[in-house]
Amino acid sequence: MTITIAISNEKGGVAKTTSTLSLGASLADLGQKILVIDLDAQSNLTLSLGFEPGEAKLTSADLMLDNASIQSICIKTDVENLDLIPSSSRIETSEQFLPMRTHHTTILQRAIANADLPYDFIILDCPPALGVITQNAIAAADLLLIPTQAEYFSAYALRNMMTLVRRIREEDNSKLAYRILVTMLDRRNRTHRNINEQLRTTFGEGVFNTVIEIDTKLRESPIVGMPITHYKPGARSSIQYRVLAQELLEYAKETQNRQAA
**Residue spans per domain, the chain:** 3-260
205 vs 187: CA distance, rounded Å: 21
- Average pLDDT (82-90) is 96
Q: Please report the pLDDT score of residue 136 as a whole number.
A: 97
Q: Nearest CA to 174 among 204, 203, 145, 141? A: 141
Q: Please report the pLDDT score of residue 257 as a whole number.
A: 83
Q: Please report the pLDDT score of residue 78 as a whole number.
A: 95
Check whether 54 has a pLDDT greater than 90: no
Q: Please report the pLDDT score of residue 3 as a whole number.
A: 96
List, in sequence order, every beta strand (DSSP E) within the chain.
Answer: 3-7, 34-38, 75-76, 82-85, 121-125, 143-149, 177-183
229 vs 238: CA distance, rounded Å: 5
Check whether 260 has a pLDDT greater than 80: no
pLDDT tens across 222-234, in order? 888 899 999 999 9
Q: What percentage of the chain has pLDDT greater than the value 90?
A: 85
Q: How many helices (H) and strands (E) does the chain have?
A: 13, 7
- Average pLDDT (53-62) is 92
Asked if 84 and 74 touch (Cβ cutoff 8 Å), the reply is yes
Q: Regarding the domain with residue range 3-260, which homologous superfamily does it belong to in the CATH classification?
A: P-loop containing nucleotide triphosphate hydrolases (3.40.50.300)
Q: Please report the pLDDT score of residue 258 as a whole number.
A: 82
Q: Please report the pLDDT score of residue 259 as a whole number.
A: 79
Check whether 64 has a pLDDT greater than 90: yes
Check whether 219 has a pLDDT greater than 90: no
The model's pTM is 0.96
Q: Please report the pLDDT score of residue 239 as a whole number.
A: 97
Asked if 117 and 2 touch (Cβ cutoff 8 Å), the reply is yes
Residue 36's DSSP bridge partners are: 84, 123
Check whether 156 has a pLDDT greater than 80: yes
